[in-house]
Structure 1
Amino acid sequence: MAMGSALVAILASVAALGQAAVVGRQYAVAVDKIGTQEDIFRFLGGAGPYFSFPFDNGIPEQTPDCCKLMQVQLFARHGERFPTKKKGNKILETYYKLANYTGTFNESLSFLNDDYEFFVRDPEYYEEETTLKNSLNPLNPYTGERDAQRHSQNFLALYKNLLNETSSFAVFTSNSKRCHDTAQFFIDGLGNDYNVSLQVIDEAPSSGANSLTPRYGCANFSESENDGYVRTYSREYLSNLAKRLNIENKGLNLTNSDAENLFFWCAYELNVRGYSDICSIFTEEELIHFSYQDDLESYYENGNGNSLGAVAGSILFNASVELLKQSDDLEQKAWLSFTHDSDLINYIAAVGLFDNGVKLNTSYVPFRDHVYRKSWIAPQGARIYTQKFSCYNQSYVRYVVNDAVIPIESCSSGPGFSCPLEQFYDYAESRLSDINFSDKCGKIIATNATSLTFYWDYKTRNYNASLVKK
């Protein structure tokens, strides 16, 4: 009996060693691949992992010499995530088509001949942040969890002095679970020196303007108002991709929809696994076309191409300006908020940082005058900072988008290409003067708030909306 038990134990140990060897080989392969695909991030339409804005103008992000930081504000997107349920099911349809292919894969799809594991193990992961726990690879550096913690460390390196003035402060998040999780991971990354209250703001339309997602409280807002025009952009690149893969793999019969799904498969697999062999199948031209198609969709759904894009964003912009005006009187000097990419794009539309007055067209890719690039502005984990600093008794404001200073074109005469404070207020007034959220948004629920108040009343209201997976 004892000998039998010992033999079972020995066999189990041998099996475990063999399995460990296989796992070890898999991780060795993963190590070779991780970090080799980051050049593709800027073409993934904001679905892939975080990366710094590719063009920083050579301006240091740090506060200019001889200047003192007075206030910082952050509007951030949630970190890297799994696809939404809708997008995930579309990708799964293409995966099933490949999984049921009876031939041997050739050329760029030949990696599927190995024991490929689909990157979503459990459909319950749809909509969720990627973490060390649900990632397919413990070496994956691109999880939303790790991204948020790295972000908080970078925040401390630049702005810790503002936190030293008060050990207790509030952080704000929408009640989307992934936004909440990102905020919590960020807070965890700050360490144990601070007493942080996490204020959870309801995304429901009934929140009206008192929300980090004011587009939901705007009854007239429609992301689809320009869908007809956006669809006029040529999808020939998708048909060419599908045709190329079908020629390489006779009988595969991929469609244009499958070809488009492959781009999102690539992006989300990077978030989950840390690398994606799917990403290697695209040509440079295909990536450029996909990226610009996503620029068009984002610009006309939530940006300046939408008639109410800036209107929705005006709520956050107006609140930001008020915080700047009251900075001397407010004990809290760092205002940190977490929401979705669509809301960041609304906000950017109101501020006007990437608006040269020329609307994106669907007839060609505008390489020379292309200032609006969705994936550069709002990748997973995107972060938009507003800095207010004082130099020689004068105050200035400037923006930092994904680690790069982005000057206001018409107002950048201050240190570090910042905008002198009073000129900034004039600039903000010119952007906001013709916008009335209530009038533009039409009839709304009677309980809707018409302005954002949670930055000022959170101590008495204690926002704690229930989390939702959306």
Structure 2
Amino acid sequence: MVLLLLITLSVLTSTYDAIDLYPPYTITAGPTYTAYKFNILQHLTALSPYFETNTNGLSPDPPPGCTVVKAAYLVRHASIYANDYDYEATLYPFLQRLKNASSLENVNFSCASDLAFLTTWTSPITDSKKQVEKLTISGGLEAFHFGTRLAYRYPHLLPTKKTNASVFKVWASKANRTRQSANAFFAGLYGGIQEDTIGQVILIAEGEEQGANTLTPHKSCPRFSDSAGAKEADIWLKYYTGSIIARFAAMGTGFNFSANDVLAMQELCGYETVIRGSSLFCPIFTSDEWLSFEYYFDIKYHYQLGYGADRSPSLGMPWVVASSNLLNEARTTDQDLYISFTHRQKPLLVLTSLGLYNNSCYAGVDDINTTFPLDQINHQRAWRTSELIPVLGHVALERLDCASVTHTGSFVRVLVNSIPKPLPHCASGPAGSCPLPHYMDYVQRRHALYEKFSKTCGVRYKNTTDVLAIYS
């Protein structure tokens, strides 16, 4: 049975990309605009299945004459049934309202073609206590597939057998979904070989008093607010859902949809797709309405985890510094590929530390608030979380050692979901990379711009630390 499962996984992962596990819900335009294809699953922000979008044209392959000699990855976990906040605040209230409405004589969904499926539809979450926050079946396959991809990308960085000196390590925060993602990834990395024969997953505590020595620094930062961005996002939610509610009301179903109901239905498009393989909630909204949903979460994460929260770079910097130091080591170590699994928050914090996707830089303004108006979408924004933190979204740092006619020496480049992303004012190397000494200077300058973790978080617990030391 185990062998059959591994063969099946291998066949699937060699044939399909992660996004192809689910049917693409594509919205097209008229016959004179045949190039327009809007894939809904690529606009669900943190609910999007993994996908890649290369807008700068840079090849993810190592440049000619260059070899990747070290790499560090920070990876978000694979698909889950739902996270606890979405379920408790959005999905459950809608599911209860829908359940109660089934007994009301004046509610009839069958009269509305777009919503007729609600007459017999049932929730994909059948046992919230056992399912919420847990990986879906497809989530395990996604993580396995990702491991296989990195095995093909870095065969020279992977040990083929365990040595007495050390074992190959993958790190993961202690939550069930990150741990399971890391285990499935490990299986894919080694083609299904039991991970303890080659290496092991190192679990990192998610405690409230871990300081910066954790993969979940937002949980050990007393000043971090989960509710940050909610006020601004809710203003936009009420603004954009007004026309949707009016459209649904005109269908004559008798159900009084609220803004929260609309949000829940759009979230269910993502969650139900990764649970059941498809969702009838996806095609009932227009591309404009999906862009509005995407903008809702971009606003929320901007003020919670992005440049709209002053402390964000301080929370992401410990990983950047620790990983950069690993890449800067001249000596060959027992392990040159460092992969860590965490939650959706951490990659966004790291991107602010690196100074990437800053709306203000692109808009030519200094006031971050002007880049996220709450009465219209800023279509020119750089901060698009669908492209940053889909399921298994990741930030990677690669050290390239080059010996070519045009470039000799060591360079560092940033990959965001496998796509090269040049750093501001630090991209003179091959394929937009940065010379290693310049890169280290860049990180040091960025580090100096922000308060250390303990100070910015107002830490009062004892034995805190400003350093991420899990890799040593």
> Counterparts of 2:114 and 2:123 in 1: how far apart (Å)?
17
TM-score computed with the length of structure 2 as normaliser: 0.82
Q: CA deviation at 1:299?
A: 1.0
Residues paired across the two proteins, number: 411
CA contact (8 A) 1:49 1:270 kept: no
CA contact (8 A) 1:174 1:338 kept: yes
Q: Name 2:29's counterpart in structure 1.
A: none
Q: Name 1:127's counterpart in structure 2.
A: 133
CA contact (8 A) 2:68 2:398 kept: yes
> Counterparts of 1:375 and 1:316 in 2: how far apart (Å)?
22
CA spacing shift, 1:257–1:269, aligned 2, 3 Å: same
Q: CA deviation at 1:91?
A: 1.5
CA spacing shift, 1:97–1:153, aligned 2, 3 Å: same
- Residue 440 of structure 1, aligned match among 456, 460, 464: 456
Backbone CA RMSD of aligned residues: 2.1
CA contact (8 A) 1:232 1:362 kept: no
Q: CA deviation at 1:450?
A: 2.9
Look up the SS of the partner of 2:250 in the other structure. Answer: helix
Look up the SS of the partner of 1:235 in the other structure. Answer: helix
Q: Name 1:372's counterpart in structure 2.
A: 383
> Counterparts of 1:341 and 1:110 in 2: how far apart (Å)?
34
Structure 2: which amino acid aligns with 1:367? H
Structure 2: which amino acid aligns with 1:439? K
CA spacing shift, 1:243–1:205, aligned 2, 3 Å: same
Q: Name 1:95's counterpart in structure 2.
A: 95
> Counterparts of 2:449 and 2:96 in 1: how far apart (Å)?
51
Question: Identity across aligned pairs (percent)?
Answer: 26
CA contact (8 A) 1:46 1:376 kept: no
> Counterparts of 1:161 and 1:285 in 2: how far apart (Å)?
45
Q: Equivalent residues in 2 for 1:311-322 (5 A)?
A: 311-322=314-325
Q: Equivalent residues in 2 for 1:369-408 (5 A)?
A: 370-392=381-403, 393-408=408-423
TM-score computed with the length of structure 1 as normaliser: 0.83
1:453 aligns with 2:469: yes
> Counterparts of 1:166 and 1:320 in 2: how far apart (Å)?
24
CA spacing shift, 1:56–1:149, aligned 2, 3 Å: farther
> Counterparts of 2:72 and 2:21 in 1: how far apart (Å)?
36
CA offsets 1:343-379 (integer angstroms, 9 cap, x no match): 11111111112125352322432223x1110111001
> Counterparts of 2:328 and 2:56 in 1: how far apart (Å)?
28
> Counterparts of 2:315 and 2:82 in 1: how far apart (Å)?
25
CA offsets 1:159-195 (integer angstroms, 9 cap, x no match): 1111148753111000011011100000011222861
CA offsets 1:305-344 (integer angstroms, 9 cap, x no match): 1011111111111111111122524321000000011111
Structure 2: which amino acid aligns with 1:449? T
CA offsets 1:51-76 (integer angstroms, 9 cap, x no match): 11x23422111111111211011100
Q: Name 1:25's counterpart in structure 2.
A: none
Structure 1: which amino acid aligns with 2:471? Y
CA contact (8 A) 2:232 2:299 kept: no
Q: Name 2:428's counterpart in structure 1.
A: 413
Mean Cα displacement is larger for which, 395-404 or 78-87?
A: 78-87
Look up the SS of the partner of 2:310 in the other structure. Answer: coil
Q: Name 1:200's counterpart in structure 2.
A: 203
Q: Name 1:153's counterpart in structure 2.
A: 148
CA contact (8 A) 1:223 1:302 kept: no
Structure 2: which amino acid aligns with 1:298? Y
CA contact (8 A) 1:217 1:448 kept: no
Structure (1 or 2) with the larger CA radius of gyration = 1
Structure 2: which amino acid aligns with 1:281? I
Look up the SS of the partner of 1:46 in the other structure. Answer: helix
Look up the SS of the partner of 1:171 in the other structure. Answer: strand
> Counterparts of 2:161 and 2:189 in 1: how far apart (Å)?
14
Q: Equivalent residues in 2 for 1:50-449 (5 A)?
A: 50-52=50-52, 54-89=53-88, 90-99=90-99, 100-101=101-102, 102-105=107-110, 106-113=112-119, 115-123=120-128, 124-131=130-137, 143-164=138-159, 167=162, 168-191=167-190, 192=193, 195-233=198-236, 235-326=238-329, 328-358=331-361, 359=368, 360-363=371-374, 364-368=376-380, 370-392=381-403, 393-435=408-450, 436-449=452-465
Look up the SS of the partner of 1:455 in the other structure. Answer: coil
Q: CA deviation at 1:233?
A: 3.2
Structure 2: which amino acid aligns with 1:118? S
Look up the SS of the partner of 2:307 in the other structure. Answer: coil
Structure 1: which amino acid aligns with 2:116? S
Gaps of 5+ in 2: 1-19, 27-38, 362-367
Q: Name 1:137's counterpart in structure 2.
A: none
CA contact (8 A) 2:22 2:273 kept: no
Q: Name 2:8's counterpart in structure 1.
A: none
